[in-house]
Amino acid sequence: MWATRRKKGNMNTAIKSSRLPGSTGSSVLRRGLLGRATFGHRRVAREELDTLGYDAWLDRQLEPDSVADGDLDVRLAPYPWLGRTPSELRAQFTGGGWALSEGSKAVRLLRATYSERQLFERVVDLWNDHFNVPFTAQDANYLRPYHERHVIRAHALGKFPDFLWAVMRSPAMGAYLDQDSNLAGDPNENFARELLELHTLGEGNGYTENDVREVARCFTGWGYVRHWQSGEFGTFRFDPALHDDGPKNVLGHALPAGGGEADGAIVHRILSRDPRTARMVAFKIARTFLGQEAADGQVMLPTGESILDRLVRIYLGTGGDIRAMVREALSQGTLTAVAPWRRRKLKAPFHFAVSLLRATEARVTSPTTAIYALEGLGQVPFEWPDPDGYPDDVDSWAGTLAPRWKFASNLLNGWASWADVDAADLSALCAGAGPPHWGRCVSAVLTAGEMEPGDVAQVQSFVNQSSAPGAADLIGAFELGASSPSFQTY
């Protein structure tokens, strides 16, 4: 809808924004925090932030176990298998466990949309891409749900070295990156390459092909118990008979012969303490919450230190404390330096969809069916086939704008079989405001009042074209607002 009404311009121009007249600096900063630390504005979240204040709200979000999430718990009740082991899942779901794959995607949508622990869910999304394991992997239908609970979610705000160790021993990751075929005399380098390139040091960042081969040798014999083997299916397994026990040299560190399983532990210690790993982790956190410029070290703090360097220093000084790094990235001083109202980020398709559901307080009535709507946007949880995870840049997603407009139109007009929101709901969100104020209402509902003034004017102009604006025009106003550059970005 917006495509036919807004002025032409490229995406880089469209995503620039400014504060609304009358906004105070503190309110703009709080709205910036809400945009970066959640999957999108929601009235209740905004009110809570305004009541608690910036720092108290942020600190509360960083302790997710302290945040009650009863509404989400009710929505997750139809998925009692979430806490079960791979062995239990395989016994319950025969025939490949397809329902586990579809259910896991539906659960991801519900958590992102309805959880009160929004910052935690944003961090979980970051790590699901950093340590990507799609459902296309071997035995993934049984292994991936356990990986989500006991690897990703268990360590999302903990210490990165502990997180990395859990990933190294994860049957889901091992299955995806072919650890079962990493054998003495014939090492498979898939896991070793992604460990160095994506998970820790970064592509081409000072390691050699020989380092990749030596790391692969260190992890020979690492795998998981298959369903035909003795032991509990889906648990970590080290087979010394398949391990290359000869001497090795990893990144200049000599490993003597006879190390066995400890070879992998030594590699973990080397990588988790390396400043290059600290920089990779800092880069990912900065890019997720602050944008590409901050991740590239181009945004400076008043002290003269770049935001990226500050995050690296925190990693090295705290032993890789993710919570401390996220706290610094979203602190008032850092967010002021970034000025998110000037450095806007284009929402990835999943983020866009969830933000619209949150803002309109839509009721997702069929989460599994909703996944098919996400397919039309081009981003379904756990479906990116490559180890690098879904991209986080404008160029990758700018071509998905037309499907977004269609998604918004289907949802708001009641054409989505999987969700429920209607004109009466939208009118209630406007608190009885009449047609002359619908532009401002759309801005308040969708963006907490931070919609670009020009976008607000476009919405109001659309309403004013009707001689007697009614329910259809209010829906159209929300369609237009959801398609605007202001809502497409955060």
What are the backbone angles phi and psi of residue 489, rounded to the nearest 5°? -120, 170
Distance CA 144, CA 49 (A): 34
pLDDT tens digits along 269-286: 999 999 999 999 999 999
Residue that has been written with the tokens 């659960």 in this structure: 107
What's the pLDDT score for residue 95? 85
Distance CA 365, CA 367 (A): 6
pLDDT tens digits along 40-97: 999 999 999 999 999 999 999 999 999 999 999 999 999 999 999 999 999 999 888 9
**Does residue 24 surpass a pLDDT of 80?**
no
Strands 363-364 and 253-255: unpaired
111, containing H or E segment: helix 98-114
Q: At what angle do helices 275-289 and 307-318 cross, to 10 degrees?
A: 130
Residue 304 neighbours by CB distance under 10 Å: 7
pLDDT tens digits along 114-124: 999 999 999 99
Distance CA 457, CA 291 (A): 28
C-alpha torsion sign, points 447, 449, 451, 457: positive
At 344 the three-state DSSP class reads coil
pLDDT tens digits along 44-55: 999 999 999 999
What are the domain boundaries of the chain? 2-61+344-488, 70-272, 275-338
**Which DSSP category does 196 fall into?**
I
More confident residue, 225 or 3: 225
**Does residue 2 surpass a pLDDT of 60?**
no
**Which DSSP category does 249 fall into?**
E
Distance CA 463, CA 368 (A): 35
Residue count (the chain): 490
Q: What confidence category does residue 11 fall into, taking pLDDT thresholds of 50, 70 and 90?
A: very low
Distance CA 365, CA 420 (A): 7
Distance CA 199, CA 237 (A): 22
Measured in Å, how far apart are the chain's first and last C-alpha atoms?
20
pLDDT tens digits along 418-437: 999 999 999 999 998 999 99
Beta bridge partners of residue 300, listed in sequence order: 306
What's the pLDDT score for residue 160? 99
141 Cβ neighbours under 8 A, 6+ residues apart: 89, 93, 96, 97, 98, 100, 101, 135
Distance CA 138, CA 208 (A): 29
What are the backbone angles phi and psi of residue 26, rounded to the nearest 5°? -65, -40
pLDDT tens digits along 318-342: 999 999 999 999 999 999 999 998 9
